[in-house]
Amino acid sequence: MGYRCTGRKGGRLLAELSREDVLRLAEENNVKFIRLWFTDILGNLKSFAITVGELEDALDGGMGFDGSSITGYNDIEESDMIAMPDTSTFQLFPWSPRENAVARMFCDVRTPEGDPYVGDPRHVLRRALERANEMGFDNFYVGPELEFFYFKDPYGTELLDYGSYFDHTTLDAATNLRRDTVLALEKLDINVEYSHHEVGNSQHEIDLRYDSALEMADKAMTYKTVVKEIAQRHGVYATFMPKPIQDQNGSGMHTHQSLFSNGKNAFFDPDDQFYLSDVAKAFIAGQLRHAREISIIFAQYVNSYKRLVPGYEAPVYIAWSRRNRSALVRVPLYHPGKEQATRAEIRCPDPAANPYLCFAALLHAGLEGIERGYELPEPMERNLYHLSHDERQRLGIQSLPASLGEAIQEAEDSELLQKCLGEHIFKRLLNLKRDEWEEYRIQVTPFELKKYLPVL
């Protein structure tokens, strides 16, 4: 990924849009409908549409909705919620007709009293960024790489192609799909750096140019919607399921990260052997130390742990490296003149994660390391998959949880996770995940029937 950070305040390429700008753009572009977007605590996109006649009222006071029907939100007796549009996120859908066009805005969810709603994932990320600001960091930049698969339809895993990494021949049947997706993203002012075929058959990746964390979380949600929308228009299905095919690599969301202070990359130190500052080292150490307890955030589904197994390029072992992609955190090599691009790439998240909660948890873990002065261990440059169990034990290398059930156990007593999510989301997320794990745990699978029924 070409991560070329400039340190610009807020990470925005465009000027912030005011209330008057939004009203003017809606009129100039013949907008008839505006979709108001937000997510539930699992990161599922939710929306409802208003007509342009309601836009002015929505910008002034938000629009009410029933929060009791949103996963993880309030109970029915406290169901009234307000969706307050963020004017800076106003965009026209490039696939909507020019006549009676459709636009969207992300919303901050508020209580009827106008306070931020504690169950809103966007609010969770805002609080994490406030903690960073209080510690002297004016920006947390992230650059996620969201992988996905194209299948014939949503009912199975029939492949579109048998291409592999960087194939750009007749083996790659999705060249036009990716092209149309990139063009749509650019019309939404989402800058793309790379698009290519991934390692797995029918697996693909489109990399977004870095941005500050809140803007990038919005972009990640938009990206997933655009990928699916363009695929549907081509008559195929796109999925961000972490591990849809047993013998193929799963889909990850490798996330590049850096902290900036006073316009400079706080991760860079020209005098360090790794060109990493003490801030960067403590930040990485924090993510390594807390990786197990926050895994329920970056790998939140039963299926996520089918991806996190040795042998399929997904990180399992908790270590860091400069070159070794089997480590949980990789620090790309420094190139002279590219000080602003110094960063840490954490490779465990998958694209089914809620990006607001994921970026917040990663930031809190890193800040905890800085605040408490965690020591970074030596880098592990050996292929960790080739080490035996005994060798890893001697080196003190832990593994990520092997299942959602284990991740739940790690999360239950995590003070960091409670600090990150707040009591409301922490409790409700754990309850949702316990229900999911129990539902999965009692399944009798085709594997079991095939293996045991004939012989037992």
Per DSSP, the residues of 374-409 read PPPPPP--S-GGGS-HHHHHHHT--B--SSHHHHHH
Q: What pLDDT shows up at residue 334?
A: 67
Contact 179, 209 (CB under 8 A): no
Nearest to 420 by CA among 281, 294, 299: 294
Beta bridge partners of 203: 149
Element (H, E) at 327: strand 327-330
CA distance 35 to 275: 45
Using the structure block, give the residue that is written with the tokens 């500052």.
277
Q: Where are the alpha helices (DSSP H) in 245-354?
A: 278-289, 291-298, 304-307
Using the structure block, give the residue that is written with the tokens 């607001």.
356
Where in the chain are all domains bearing CATH 3.10.20.70? 9-110
Low-confidence residues of the chain: pLDDT under 50: 1-14, 77
Which tokens hold the place of 399? Answer: 């593994």
Burial of 195: CB neighbours in 10 Å, binned 0-12, 13-18, 19+: middle
Which residues lie below 8 Å from residue 439, measured CB to CB, with a gap of 6+? none
Q: What pLDDT shows up at residue 97?
A: 86
Side chain identity at residue 7, one-letter code = G
CA distance 199 to 163: 8
Element (H, E) at 450: helix 446-452
Contact 58, 34 (CB under 8 A): yes
Q: What pLDDT shows up at residue 37?
A: 97
Burial of 404: CB neighbours in 10 Å, binned 0-12, 13-18, 19+: buried
In CATH terms, the superfamily for domain 126-447 is Glutamine synthetase/guanido kinase, catalytic domain (3.30.590.10)
Side chain identity at residue 420, one-letter code = C
For the chain, the first-to-last Cα distance in angstroms comes to 51
Which tokens hold the place of 283? Answer: 């930040």
Contact 205, 145 (CB under 8 A): yes
Using the structure block, give the residue that is written with the tokens 């905890």.
368
CA distance 58 to 64: 9
Where in the chain are all domains bearing CATH 3.30.590.10? 126-447
Using the structure block, give the residue that is written with the tokens 């790309």.
332
In CATH terms, the superfamily for domain 9-110 is Glutamine synthetase, N-terminal domain (3.10.20.70)
Nearest to 209 by CA among 190, 236, 188: 190
Provide the whole-model pTM. Answer: 0.92
At residue 34, what are phi and psi to the nearest 5 degrees? -125, 125
Which tokens hold the place of 224? Answer: 């997933």
Crossing angle for the helix pair 355-372 and 291-298, to the nearest 10 degrees: 160
Pairing label, strands 101-110, 31-39: parallel
At residue 254, what are phi and psi to the nearest 5 degrees? -55, 130
CA distance 137 to 259: 6
**DSSP character string of 411-443:** HHT-HHHHHHHHHHHHHHHHHHHHHHHHHHHT-
Using the structure block, give the residue that is written with the tokens 């192609």.
161
Contact 241, 305 (CB under 8 A): no
Using the structure block, give the residue that is written with the tokens 């307050």.
84
Tell me, letter by letter, the H, E, C secondary structure of 167-212: CCCCCCCCHHHHHHHHHHHHHCCCCEEEEEECCCCCEEEEEECCEE
Q: What pLDDT shows up at residue 15?
A: 52
Which tokens hold the place of 146? Answer: 């969201």
**DSSP character string of 233-251:** HTT-EEE--S--STTS---
